[in-house]
Chains A and B, each alone.
Chain A
Amino acid sequence: KQEVTQIPAALSVPEGENLVLNCSFTDSAIYNLQWFRQDPGKGLTSLLLIQSSQREQTSGRLNASLDKSSGRSTLYIAASQPGDSATYLCAVPPQMDSSYKLIFGSGTRLLVRP
């Protein structure tokens, strides 16, 4: 059964710092990996989708990497800003599962201090 883990659960950094969020999954049979952002009391916003055949995907200050063999993905945020403060979730749609859903990690709550 696929399990997705995110460490750390919370992170506080000063503005301007580059940072890395981690996501690990137990089964490498995935179609892709998606990173989402969730602001308090709001819905999830898709940030990046990285296909299982890709190693990296970039959008602005965000860069996601994927290493299927080790079951790991990282989300790199460059030059962090207070507006980046949110909870970041990773999720995978597993291949070897008869259900059609995303399996989410528990998230990393990020605070960027001015």
Chain B
Amino acid sequence: EAQVTQNPRYLITVTGKKLTVTCSQNMNHEYMSWYRQDPGLGLRQIYYSMNVEVTDKGDVPEGYKVSRKEKRNFPLILESPSPNQTSLYFCASSLSFIETQYFGPGTRLLVL
């Protein structure tokens, strides 16, 4: 089944404790992206990757890192989480950024 998977789905952590949210797709997509969704602010892009060689910041990259060592995986790294990073996070992938985008099920993060 073609899908985007994220892990974990739910996470409660404390300020400053490094964490990684994994994202994997099995559709051989070149483009991958991370969004966060917050009430009243909608969906905002954190980082994107056009392919394994090109990764760049989105609208709200502060406090986040990503890597794209292989085509299928695009982990989101929070080196020192803070309460303002409490949010619902979505990974997305597509053949290119102008093609239909497929979203993962989301990761709900609470930073205390």
Contact = CB atoms under 8 A, between A and B. Distances in A.
Interface of A: 31-32, 34, 36, 41-46, 49, 89, 91, 93, 99-102, 104-107
B64 interface: no
A32 B102 CA distance: 15
Interface in B54-112: 56, 58-59, 90, 92, 97-106, 108
B42 A102 contact: no
A41 B99 CA distance: 25
A40 to B, nearest CB: 11
Contact of A100 (B42, B90, B97): B97
21 contacts: A36-B103, A41-B106, A43-B90, A43-B104, A43-B105, A43-B106, A46-B101, A49-B99, A49-B100, A89-B43, A93-B98, A99-B56, A99-B58, A100-B50, A100-B56, A100-B97, A101-B33, A101-B45, A102-B45, A102-B101, A105-B42
B100 to A, nearest CB: 5
Interface residues of B, number: 24
B72 to A, nearest CB: 18
A85 B50 CA distance: 34
Contacts of A41: 106, 108
Contacts of A36: 103
B45 A32 contact: no
A104 B42 contact: yes
Q: Which 7 A-B pairs have the closest CB atoms?
A: A44-B103, A101-B45, A31-B98, A100-B97, A43-B103, A104-B43, A43-B105
Contacts of B48: 99-101
Nearest to B91: A43
Interface string B12-36: 0000000000000000000101000
